Copies of this chain bind each other. A is one copy, B any other.
Amino acid sequence: MKFATLKDGSLDGRLVVVSHNLRHAVAVPTIAPSLLDALQRWDAVRLPLQDLSDALNAGAAPGAFAFDPAACAAPLPRSPQWLDGSAFLNHGRLMERAFNTPPIPDFDTIPVMYQGASDDFLGPMDDVPLPSEADGIDFEGEFGVVCGPVPMAVSAEAALDCIRLVVQINDWSLRALGPHEMKTGFGFLQAKPSTAFAPVAVTPDELGDAWQGGRVRLPLHVQWNGERFGEPDGREMNFDFGQLIAHAARTRRLSAGTIVGSGTVSNASRAAGSACIAERRVIEKLDLGEIRTAFMRFGDRVCMRACLVDGSEGPFGSIDQRVVAAG
């Protein structure tokens, strides 16, 4: 199944089921008003939602309408928790050099993860209001999963069964603020403004062969102001999503709707390009001897989409956002 949330002025928005080809949608008010509600009552709503999804894909859903990503909020406009890992070791190692911070201890054996704000997510085509270009505005292309209820101390294997949906994320970051916050030991706060999501959240089965080993095996195509920036593939995650969820739940329960992120998708091959500017900058410094790329300016756009083998838009639709001055 594929889901999206239409903006309707409420905190949780209005749930719609989306067709496989992302062309059609249908509201489901009699089953679940919002995606958060559906996740809280998953066992009761899953089959009715599946029936409606089947009907929609057969062209037989009454009330179906054209799906418009521009009308979408994030699939979950607010969530109980947003926990973002850094599971692509290539990214983490490069960021240590970009930030000039000490090596993260046990980085390849123990996941790292910060807790971000989950009350004010951005939709896929929402403007991104930020206070200052001097903060080092950067995007971070990621994959993530949405969980059902997760018990404390769940195993990594059992955690895989807690995954309800897979999502695509832009974890907006302010690079001028990150190194200080890392050095305090308290982690990212100001460096992580509101996070954005591609319009469509999908059940893992929708990904077919692209969901293997608790990883999204798809390239994430990133464009900045219309120019190719990179297309790193999700398969190089050092920890799978089950391991990330288990790490998050080691000493706490996770409520239904909790989102766990992969961290910036990043591949060892330089040919893949990057899914964030900071990574390109440190590669420039390493490979060319100097940083050539500046961070984003107000008015800049970033577009991100996971793509299928033929290069067409993948299962999550596209993030296409513009950075603007807050105020």
Q: Quote the shortest CB–CB distance from A87 to chain B (angstroms).
A: 12
Size category of the A interface is: 35 or more
A273 at the interface (CB under 8 A from B): no
Q: B255 contacts A105, CB within 8 Å?
A: no
Chain B residues within 8 Å of A248, by CB: 189
Q: B184 contacts A251, CB within 8 Å?
A: no
**Copies of this chain, tallied across the complex:** 2
A253 at the interface (CB under 8 A from B): yes
| Selected contact of A186 from candidates B81, B114, B129, CB within 8 Å | B114
Chain B residues within 8 Å of A112, by CB: 184-186
Chain B residues within 8 Å of A182, by CB: 185-186
Chain B residues within 8 Å of A114, by CB: 115, 186-187, 189
A119 at the interface (CB under 8 A from B): yes
Q: A251 contacts B130, CB within 8 Å?
A: yes
A326 at the interface (CB under 8 A from B): yes
In chain B, what residue has the closest Cβ to A179?
B185
Q: How far is the CA of A177 from the CA of B112 in the complex (A)?
A: 12
A180 at the interface (CB under 8 A from B): yes
Q: A250 contacts B190, CB within 8 Å?
A: yes
A264 at the interface (CB under 8 A from B): no
A194 at the interface (CB under 8 A from B): yes
Give A137-185 interface residues, CB cut-off 8 Å to B: 152-153, 174, 177, 180-185
Q: Quote the shortest CB–CB distance from A65 to chain B (angstroms).
A: 30
**Known contacts A80-B119, A115-B116: A104-B185 contact under CB 8 Å:** yes
Q: Quote the shortest CB–CB distance from A182 to chain B (angstroms).
A: 3
Residues of A participating in the B interface, judged by any CB pair closer than 8 Å: 78, 80-81, 83, 86, 101-102, 104-107, 110, 112-120, 129-131, 135, 152-153, 174, 177, 180-194, 247-248, 250-255, 258, 326-327
Instruction: List 16 contacting pairs A-B, 8 Å CB cutoff, sorted by A.
Output: A78-B80, A80-B118, A81-B118, A104-B185, A105-B184, A106-B180, A112-B185, A115-B116, A117-B252, A119-B255, A119-B258, A135-B251, A186-B188, A189-B247, A194-B252, A194-B253
- Chain A to chain B: the 10 pairs with minimum beta-carbon distance, closest first: A187-B187, A182-B185, A80-B119, A119-B255, A193-B251, A114-B186, A115-B115, A112-B186, A112-B184, A190-B250
